[in-house]
Amino acid sequence: MLRFVSYDVVFQEVPNEVTLAINISGCPNKCVGCHSPHLQEDIGDELDCVALTGLLSRYHGLITCVCFMGGDSDTEAVDVLAAFVRKITLGQIKTAWYSGRNQFPVNVSLNHFNYIKLGSFIEKLGGLDSICTNQRFFKIDKGNVFDCTYLFLSESVCSME
């Protein structure tokens, strides 16, 4: 079972999308330097199709994407919820997943997502906006996967000190 702590409409996590970002708790990755360590706890309200329907209704006409921020403790549940969003919105709302995993889970369908961020957070390498990052942001289009990490990069210099 997935639990969510908070949500917000954001503009940075998925380029060119107005995104409802849902912060999922119970993160098993325990990344050193995590910007949201409270999400490592199993706290919050249950995130299921009923809760998701309520959020979609609340933000109907305002968002173009739903992003699951976490959910690595129950990847199958994230997959089910992404498929649900695509079905209930007839594909009009895109789906994204920010996972701290380094590999895409084999029990999850790429067909349920338009975007996926993979990679644990390694503090010295930085996040998606660092040219040194180990994290990758992918766009999925008709079964093809494109690395679009470059969309986040700033003009910074990589410092491995």
Chain centre distance of CA 30? 16
**Residue 26 DSSP one-character state:** -
Residues 43, 44, 49, CA angle at the centre, nearest 5°?
A: 125
Least reliable range by pLDDT among 15-24, 30-39, 93-102, 109-118: 30-39
Tell me the per-residue pLDDT of 8-61, one tens digit each, with 9 for 90 and over. 999 999 999 999 999 999 999 888 888 788 888 899 999 999 999 999 999 999
pTM: 0.93
Q: Where are the beta strands (DSSP E) in 25-135?
A: 45-46, 65-69, 94-98, 115-118
